[in-house]
Structure 1
Amino acid sequence: MKYLSLFLCLFLATGSSGQDLTDATAVVNKYLTAIGGREKLETVKDLIISTTADMQGRTMEMETKLKMPDKFKQGTYMMGNEVGGSVYDGATLSRSMRGQQTTKTGKEAFQEFLQNHPFPELYYDTLGIEKKLAGVVALDGGDAYDVEYSGNGTTWHEYFDKASGLKVKRTATMESPRGKSEVEVRLGDYKAVNGILFPFSRTQKFGQFEMTMETQSVKVNKGVDDKQFKIK
């Protein structure tokens, strides 16, 4: 009887470790653990991320600066000239493109800021963002958990590889002058920087348009000054 009990305990232990995750919180927690762990992520005070992309034979450069918990600046450059950018000072998001400037405030501005954050999951619960496990889908030759998020009147999906736990895809519906369009972002080529995994490849599809951004460098806790996020 003693050996039978021991066998059952071992069987149940090994069986449960191979079981599918059954709720969105478990999926997100596995992801946060996979990229470094919640405690490690919370040590990040600021980030500077440099990326490049090929735009019809020309190189586009982008520099993104973040200061936790709620400051963001992004500049886009072509041939050394700034062609656009956005700044979020914690309350207002200002975007400039081809000499035109637009602003957003409140929850709408903060949600757009989170779309550019490397680990927004740290903030979702405090913002009241709801999430649920929508199922498991086949993706790139493997399986991925499909987590549906909703908040502030919008819904989006994020997909996490079952084996590694890493986020591999994000989809959302965006409004444009031509109507609604589906936006798809693919994430890959994860590399460790200061003990945290960052996706060094980001491919975005918006309608018929597709662009792949390749990360050139990630700098952590370099002491980014608050003056960087001042809206003019």
Structure 2
Amino acid sequence: MKIKLLLFVALAVNLSVIAQNEELKQAPDNMSAETVFNNYIKAIGGKDVLIDVITVKFNADVTIEGLPMSLTAEIKLMEPNNESVEMYAEGMGVISRQKFDGEAGYIEQQGVKTNLTEEQINSKKGKHSIFPELYPGDSELFFEGITSLKGKDAYKVKVVHGENITYKYYDTESNLLVRAEMESKSQGKSTMEISDYKGVNEILFPYKQKIMAGMQVITMSYTNITINEGVTEEDFK
């Protein structure tokens, strides 16, 4: 059994775009991508609170459609871009892991380790894994307009970082990120639906993410989120 490892998040911002044919609505004249980002930052807790977050640990129940097996995941992030994802199967222990320490990393599945490619490494460098909207850096931001998602309006923002492009959608009422559409040479096309925001230490985090990549559908339901504890540099080796 081989399971393709997909990383969530906040992490979706380092992939490339899926072009969409859609009819955009007129937005207020003073609306911009920077305004959408700033409103999102305020909605989830505010800049003064977010900048104090150095590490986050996520525990999740994982469901893969068509796979009759109980899976869990432990995801650890450390500023600026260290990432660790470990997937567990009931009765089998760790079945896959992905590590990135800011300079290099690897993917290991069922004992077979493969180093990250130069493309994968470059896509992770120069970005922040935890709150990318807080640190746009040298990314180019484009406000596309307002579109409709499941009957609700959402601001559409295009983020360009080098060769990587992502479309991100923010609910116009709550200002929360609700969807991201992505494509990469290494992982192909994928869509992430983001929902069920809950407060953790004065910060709103999404507790559910549904990732659709080709015929594969993965649902991550987070059971626990821990801020600034339980993560060390050794976790990314």
TM-score calculated relative to the size of structure 1: 0.81
Provide the identity percentage: 27
Match for residue 32 of structure 2 among 20, 23, 28 = 23
Shift of 1:150: 1.0
The answer to whether the Cα contact below 8 Å between 2:80 and 2:129 also exists between their aligned partners in 1 is no
Task: Provide runs of 4+ in structure 1 moved above 6 Å.
Answer: 113-116
Change (3 A) 1:114 1:164: farther
Shift of 1:211: 1.4
Match for residue 227 of structure 2 among 220, 228, 231 = 220
Match for residue 149 of structure 1 among 159, 176, 180 = 159
Gap runs ≥5 in structure 2:
1-26
Match for residue 167 of structure 1 among 166, 177, 180 = 177
TM-score calculated relative to the size of structure 2: 0.80
Matches within 5 A, 1:25-174: 25-55=34-64, 56-79=67-90, 80-104=92-116, 108-109=120-121, 111-112=123-124, 117-125=129-137, 128-174=138-184
The answer to whether the Cα contact below 8 Å between 2:56 and 2:225 also exists between their aligned partners in 1 is yes
Query: What per-residue deviation string (whole Å, max 9, x for no partner) do you get for residues 126-173 of structure 1?
Result: xx1111011111012210011001122121100000000000000011
Which structure ranks higher in relative contact order (CA pairs < 8 Å, sequence separation ≥ 6)?
A: 2
Larger Rg: 1
Aligned to 1:14: none
- The CA RMSD measured in Å over matched residues stands at 2.4
The answer to whether the Cα contact below 8 Å between 1:72 and 1:113 also exists between their aligned partners in 2 is no
Shift of 1:54: 2.3
Which structure shows the bigger proportion of residues in strand conformation? Answer: 1
Gap runs ≥5 in structure 1:
1-17
Q: Separation in 2 of the partners of 1:145 and 1:21?
A: 13
Q: Separation in 2 of the partners of 1:114 and 1:196?
A: 24
Change (3 A) 1:219 1:198: same
Shift of 1:115: 8.6
